Amino acid sequence: MIGLVPFLGVILAPLLSAIAALLGGLAGARLDRAQVPGQGWIGAVQEVIIVSRKLFELLASIFIALKDKKKDQ
């Protein structure tokens, strides 16, 4: 829909897609957890920190597994 806007649509579409994916990811993470973070900006920052921590834990486990696999070869 945003892509139909002349001139600006081409610029805004990728940006809004990234923002929508981030907000969807945060909402999904909130649904997956039982505890509820704070409200307002503090709650949003808490969500970003939690999701970032989980992402870096995942990346670290992937790199460790790749290192172990390379060591075995």
Q: Where are the alpha helices (DSSP H) in the chain?
A: 8-32, 40-72
Model pTM greater than 0.85?
Answer: no
Instruction: Give 16-73 pLDDT, tens digit per residue.
Output: 888 888 888 777 777 677 666 667 777 777 777 788 888 899 999 999 999 988 887 7
Residue 45 to residue 43: CA distance in whole angstroms: 5
Q: Which residue has the higher pLDDT, 10 or 42?
A: 10
Burial of 37: CB neighbours in 10 Å, binned 0-12, 13-18, 19+? middle
Residue ranges covered by each domain of the chain:
2-72
